[in-house]
Amino acid sequence: MKKLVLISLLILVIIIPNLLTAQPQPWDPAWNGGEGAYPIGGGAPIGGGLLILLSLAIGYGVRKIYEARRKVLD
């Protein structure tokens, strides 16, 4: 019984957001979508966020290496 409830909940979590979308789909021709429309995502730049994410990941890796070396030396 628990598996049935879990599977039902999982299906609802996956399907409900697709049914309740507030925006029309970008490819829907009824809403001026389709070919020649704006690209998906609106052409938003991701360079700055990507740079921040990579720098934080590198900093985290350096910190982990520093802690591991310090632990070995102690």
Domain boundaries, the chain: 46-74
For residue 63, pLDDT over 60 is answered with: yes
Cα–Cα distance, 26 to 23 (Å, whole number): 9
For residue 18, pLDDT over 60 is answered with: yes
How does pLDDT run across 21-61, given as a tens digit for each residue?
A: 766 666 666 655 555 555 666 666 767 788 889 999 999 99
Residues 6 or more apart whose CB falls under 8 angstroms from that of 31 comprise 24, 25
Mean pLDDT of 2-21: 86
pLDDT at residue number 56: 95
